[in-house]
Structure 1
Amino acid sequence: MAKTNLSLYHIIRESSLKTNAPLLIMLHGYGSDETDLYAFASELPEALFIISVRAPFPMPPYGNAWYAINFEAEKGKWSDTKQAAASRDLIAHFIDEAIATYPVDKDHVSLLGFSQGTVLGYAVALTYPHKVKNLVALSGYINTDLIPKDFKTLDYSKLDFYCSHGSLDQVIPVEWARQSKAFLAQLHIKFQYAEFPVGHGVAPQNFYELKAWLTQRIPHL
């Protein structure tokens, strides 16, 4: 079911619960759209109210992005930090809209991102930790330019992350993902980190692991 009445275009899968459903918001990768990660929805617990959103910047002829990437830039890829920060804040606002619009539990909001969607998922959770409980971070990394300078003063005690990456990833080097472990540890954020022998994608074993991880953290089950 597609929805256009909130600040981000999205599709939903309603929960088996009538009220206070745990909410899962899906954030797709660069050049994709809301239908990509939504393919996971049928395999995830029915108690979840699932919203898969479309990034705000169109990429003709098809697809969308959370922020622009210049692949021709010197010294590797250049990301538009201003656009990324705007998307971070837009997602945070969308969380509030979703809570006000749908029969979900504001205290059980999870984000699931892939690639660029994971970069934004980290940014939202680390900037607005009071809005998020769980994060599934697939094939992405922490961009410290997208979190507050005073991040060490924020309360991250309620956060719990599942982070995974392909050890053969040719798009986002696995070394970038590995750096997240030390970063999260220093903030005493609970996390699980895993690598799988694949490229820039989600291996079946990866999906089964993230599903089990997420299921264990869903109330009412």
Structure 2
Amino acid sequence: MVAASPLDPDVVLWSAPVDERGDRPLLVLLHGYGSNEEDLFGLVPHLPAAYVAVAVRAPLAPRFPMPGYSWFTIDGVESRDPAEVTASAHAVWEWIDKVRGDAASVGLLGFSQGGVIALQMMRMRPRDAAFAVNLAGYAFPEPAAGDAELAEVRPPVFWGRGARDEVISARFVDHTAEWLPGHVDLSGRVYPNLAHSVSAEELNDVRVFLEKQLATPKG
């Protein structure tokens, strides 16, 4: 298996200091291709304060001249390396296992590439992710070791995407629309005027979804 570099602990952004985290649920934010940990951290003021939000930086550098960081390499419109996807998902889980402390649960929220990693993490360890939010992302179109177990556990997943999103291939969108209902408890929405981005309307839907997870007993 391709081994991804460990996540850099010096660039992680936390919404609360160590002494204020306790057993509060952890919400891990996974940015998109060519971005960094500061991107999704800007959403924190709009998310339920009960979560301890933490934004991490992807371990890879995109191909020049793209700035920022990536979870896996993109060669052309369609090509992605499944080994890199799995390796990055493993790297995030490895980091979470070291820092989660007494967190009551772990939820995942990713945008674009980060959404792919959020779902891949859930597919690797179906019982360890309380839920996933996939914004403008997709389910990677390769079987994963935990897919059968995931279909039994059926954790909650919110999938939001824009009808005008021209970044994500229709092939990936179609696969995700077919695959998710058979593996998770799916909710979500297609936003008619949204491109490859997050709107205020979508962010409000995400907040409602996250609040619902707080009210749902785990285990």
Instruction: Quickly name the TM-score band, shorter chain normalised.
Output: 0.7 to 0.9
**Equivalent residue of 1:19, what SS?**
coil
Report Cα offsets for 1:35-68 as digits up to 9, x if no partner. Answer: 0000001121221111100000124673000011
Q: How big is the shift at 1:137?
A: 0.4
Query: Contact 2:31–2:111 (CA<8 Å) still a contact in 1?
Result: yes
Q: 1:156 to 1:111 in 2, by over 3 A?
A: farther
Q: 1:182 aligns with which of 178, 181, 186?
A: 178
- Which protein is richer in strand relative to its size? 1
Corresponding residue of 1:89: 90
Corresponding residue of 2:211: 215
Query: Contact 1:133–1:158 (CA<8 Å) still a contact in 2?
Result: no
Corresponding residue of 1:14: 16
Query: Contact 1:26–1:38 (CA<8 Å) still a contact in 2?
Result: yes
Opposite residue 19 of structure 1, the aligned amino acid is: G
1:35 aligns with 2:30: no
1:143 aligns with 2:148: no
Q: Distance in 2 between matches of 1:18 and 1:121?
A: 22
Q: How big is the shift at 1:145?
A: 2.2
Q: Distance in 2 between matches of 1:165 and 1:154?
A: 22
Q: 1:58 to 1:209 in 2, by over 3 A?
A: same
Q: Distance in 2 between matches of 1:112 and 1:99?
A: 16
1:45 aligns with 2:41: no
TM-score, with structure 2 as normaliser: 0.84
Corresponding residue of 1:110: 107
Q: 1:63 aligns with which of 49, 68, 88?
A: 68
Q: 1:174 to 1:202 in 2, by over 3 A?
A: farther
Query: Contact 1:166–1:195 (CA<8 Å) still a contact in 2?
Result: yes
1:193 aligns with 2:195: no
**Equivalent residue of 2:158, what SS?**
strand
**Equivalent residue of 1:161, what SS?**
strand
Opposite residue 31 of structure 2, the aligned amino acid is: H
Report Cα offsets for 1:138-164 as digits up to 9, x if no partner. Answer: 00111132622x622456425100001
Query: Number of residues paired by the alignment?
Result: 205
Q: Distance in 2 between matches of 1:174 and 1:155?
A: 24
Where in structure 1 are there 5+ consecutive unaligned residues?
Answer: 1-5
Is 33-42 or 210-219 further displaced after alignment? Answer: 210-219
Opposite residue 13 of structure 1, the aligned amino acid is: S
Root-mean-square deviation over aligned CA pairs: 2.4
Corresponding residue of 1:126: 123
Q: Distance in 1 between matches of 2:111 and 2:42?
A: 13
Is 203-212 or 178-187 further displaced after alignment? Answer: 178-187
Query: Contact 2:21–2:52 (CA<8 Å) still a contact in 1?
Result: no
Q: How big is the shift at 1:219?
A: 4.8
Corresponding residue of 1:3: none
**Equivalent residue of 1:24, what SS?**
strand
Q: How big is the shift at 1:125?
A: 0.5
Query: Contact 1:81–1:145 (CA<8 Å) still a contact in 2?
Result: yes
TM-score, with structure 1 as normaliser: 0.83
Corresponding residue of 2:153: 157
Q: How big is the shift at 1:192?
A: 0.3
